[in-house]
Amino acid sequence: MDTTTGKEISIDLGTTTTIVSYTKKKSGKLTQLKYSGEKLIPSVLFFRSESEWDIGKNALAGMAIHPLAGVANFKSHLSDPEYRYEMTAVNGDHFCLKPHEATKRFLMKIVKNMEDALLKEFGAMGGTIDRAVITVPAKFPVVAKGRTKKAARDCGLDVKLTSEPTAAATDYLQSYTEFDRPGAVIMVYDFGGGTFDVSIVQRQPNNLKEIATGGDNSLSGNLLTDRVVQYLIKRIEERYAIQFPKDADELDDLDSEEIDEYRSNMAEIWRNANHMKEILSGENESERDLQLIIKGKPKVFGAYLSREDFEDMIRPDINRTVDIVQQTLKKASEKGINRVDVVVMA
Ligand SMILES: Nc1ncnc2c1ncn2[C@@H]1O[C@H](COP(=O)(O)OP(=O)(O)OP(=O)(O)O)[C@@H](O)[C@H]1O
Ligand SMILES: [Mg+2]
């Protein structure tokens, strides 16, 4: 492929949020590109039909109304060969979507939209985007890396993968230059939507060297949301004297209307649980009205959670991140690095 004519973008392809950047040739400065006016692009897809879809904040808004037409968290399922999304688009199209196909459809929109953005900025010089650097977690499974690459190649991109913590440290050093000196040791603590990564990197004369990494691909913001989901399910089951299916076998026993009811309730519970979790970062209490369908009838369930109860729920998860940090510090120490100059919370 001729890589000299097109442009290159960097994609922080997050489980929940994606950021796309472009390095300006003259200044060498990294600029974030917007999708639908936003730099933080929700990593979700929303299907009006099988062949017509949107991503980002508009997709997120659509999913709140038509949960069965939406896809979220596709990055988390990239290494699972069996995983399929059962889609019902707004127009009634039924189809299955594999996570790497969702990734490809997401990236297609990114590339098309960002080409338009570059065209606006540079006019005829905008050109096509034919290369991308995509960040992946330090502990991303090999098969998930392969599927990410394939999804990008299927969009016509020549792609390179790079480690998320190293990219975060590079980004940090551009703004906080006092640590941008050979020998400086940076710890990146990245508690993301889908993975937890910790990485100790050291600035070398010309690059960053990864000294030690640790992480857990199931410890994440989504896991904390799931803790709230489990709490809400319990309260809902008590209130309406019902039982949600506990596994795939129990789900199989439901008829198609009950499955649709269950899936739309779960989407409503998940969306609100996530919101309540985020509110509790700044407030001591959170309250939401959930629009549920119970045995075919609409019900409004008033959900409440205090910060204290939430912190009790997630304490073991947060303690686990502390254990992983300590193990990673030990690994670095075995390589002769016994100090950290700065901790970056990514
Ligand atoms: N104010 C907040 N309080 C608590 N959690 C928040 C807040 N804002 C966002 N989050 C959570 O942070 C997570 C997203 O973080 P981030 O954008 O770093 O992840 P990501 O890059 O999409 O995922 P990953 O890097 O794991 O693939 C989500 O779980 C989201 O709910
Ligand atoms: Mg991330």
* Best of 13, 15, 227 for a ligand 1 pocket test (most atoms within 8 Å of beta carbon): 15
Are residues 277 and 311 both part of a single domain? yes
* Best of 136, 197, 223, 278 for a ligand 1 pocket test (most atoms within 8 Å of beta carbon): 278
Task: Please report which confidence band the pLDDT of residue 3 belongs to, taking 50, 70 and 90 as the band edges.
Answer: very low
Tell the residue nearest (CA) to atom 3 of ligand 1. 278
The reply to whether ligand 1 has any atom less than 6 angstroms from the CB of 148 is: no
Q: Cα 16 to the chain's mean position, in Å?
A: 3
Tell the residue nearest (CA) to atom 21 of ligand 1. 14
Task: Please report which confidence band the pLDDT of residue 30 belongs to, taking 50, 70 and 90 as the band edges.
Answer: confident
289-327 confidence digits (pLDDT tens): 999 999 999 999 999 999 999 999 999 999 999 999 999
Percent of the chain with pLDDT over 90: 75
Residue 66 within a domain: yes
What residues have a C-beta under 5 A from ligand 2, the ion? 14, 192
Ligand nearest to the CA of 215: 1
The reply to whether ligand 1 has any atom less than 6 angstroms from the CB of 73 is: no
Check residue 86 and give its pLDDT: 92
For residue 251, pLDDT beyond 90: no
If you measure from the C-alpha of residue 182 to the centroid of ligand 1, how many angstroms do you get, rounded to a whole number?
31
212-234 confidence digits (pLDDT tens): 999 998 899 999 999 999 999 99
Are residues 305 and 344 both part of a single domain? yes
Task: Please report which confidence band the pLDDT of residue 124 belongs to, taking 50, 70 and 90 as the band edges.
Answer: low
Are residues 92 and 184 both part of a single domain? no
The reply to whether ligand 1 has any atom less than 6 angstroms from the CB of 199 is: no
Residue 1 within a domain: no
Q: Look at residues 132, 163, 194 and tell me which one is the last residue of a structural domain.
A: 163
d(CA 254, CA 260): 10
Are residues 66 and 203 both part of a single domain? no
Ligand nearest to the CA of 75: 1
Are residues 339 and 230 both part of a single domain? yes
* Best of 11, 12, 17, 39 for a ligand 1 pocket test (most atoms within 8 Å of beta carbon): 17
Residue 173 within a domain: no
The reply to whether ligand 1 has any atom less than 6 angstroms from the CB of 222 is: yes
The reply to whether ligand 1 has any atom less than 6 angstroms from the CB of 214 is: no
Q: Look at residues 120, 135, 163 and tell me which one is the last residue of a structural domain.
A: 163
If you measure from the C-alpha of residue 344 to the centroid of ligand 1, how many angstroms do you get, rounded to a whole number?
15
The reply to whether ligand 1 has any atom less than 6 angstroms from the CB of 215 is: no
Are residues 273 and 339 both part of a single domain? yes
What values do phi and psi take at 340, rounded to 5? -125, 130
Q: Report CA torsion sign: 72, 308, 323, 197.
A: positive
Please identify which residue in the block is written with the tokens 């730099």: 39
d(CA 56, CA 42): 4
Task: Please report which confidence band the pLDDT of residue 125 belongs to, taking 50, 70 and 90 as the band edges.
Answer: low
Are residues 41 and 79 both part of a single domain? yes
Residue 170 within a domain: no
Tell the residue nearest (CA) to atom 29 of ligand 1. 221
The reply to whether ligand 1 has any atom less than 6 angstroms from the CB of 213 is: no
Q: Domain with 320 in it: what CATH number?
A: 3.90.640.10
Strands 185-191 and 342-345 come out as: parallel
Residue 69 within a domain: yes
Q: Which of 233, 228, 257 is nearest to 245 (CA)?
A: 233
HSE-up of 172 (CA within 13 Å, CB side)?
25
Atom of ligand 1 at shortest range from CA of 196:
26
Burial of 148 (0-12, 13-18, 19+ CB in 10 A): buried
Are residues 148 and 233 both part of a single domain? no
257-272 confidence digits (pLDDT tens): 898 899 889 999 999 9
> What is this structure's pTM?
0.89
Strands (E), 171-270: 185-191, 196-203, 208-216
The reply to whether ligand 1 has any atom less than 6 angstroms from the CB of 272 is: no
For residue 89, pLDDT beyond 80: yes
Tell the residue nearest (CA) to atom 20 of ligand 1. 14
Are residues 158 and 192 both part of a single domain? no
Are residues 328 and 197 both part of a single domain? yes
For residue 4, pLDDT beyond 60: no
Check residue 32 and give its pLDDT: 87
Q: Domain with 92 in it: what CATH number?
A: 3.30.420.40
Residue 172 within a domain: no
Residue 258 within a domain: yes
The reply to whether ligand 1 has any atom less than 6 angstroms from the CB of 166 is: no
Check residue 175 and give its pLDDT: 85
34-87 confidence digits (pLDDT tens): 999 999 999 999 999 999 999 999 999 999 899 899 999 999 999 999 999 999
Number of structural domains (the chain) is 2
For residue 159, pLDDT beyond 60: yes
Tell me how crowded residue 52 is: count the other CB atoms within 10 A of its CB.
Answer: 12
Check residue 5 and give its pLDDT: 64
When comparing pLDDT for 41 and 2, which is higher? 41
Q: Which of 120, 107, 188 is nearest to 154 (CA)?
A: 107
Are residues 25 and 155 both part of a single domain? yes
Q: Answer for the pair 211, 201: CB distance below 8 angstroms, yes or no.
A: yes
Phi-psi region of 73 (alpha: psi -120 to 50; beta: other; left: phi over 0): left
Q: Which of 109, 2, 100, 7 is nearest to 48 (CA)?
A: 109
- Roughly what angle, to the nearest 10 degrees, separates helices 221-240 and 307-334? 150
Are residues 135 and 15 both part of a single domain? yes
Residue 49 within a domain: yes
d(CA 118, CA 3): 17
Q: Look at residues 163, 189, 217 and tell me which one is the last residue of a structural domain.
A: 163
Check residue 77 and give its pLDDT: 95
If you measure from the C-alpha of residue 136 to the centroid of ligand 2, how many angstroms do you get, rounded to a whole number?
8
Domain span holding position 100: 7-163
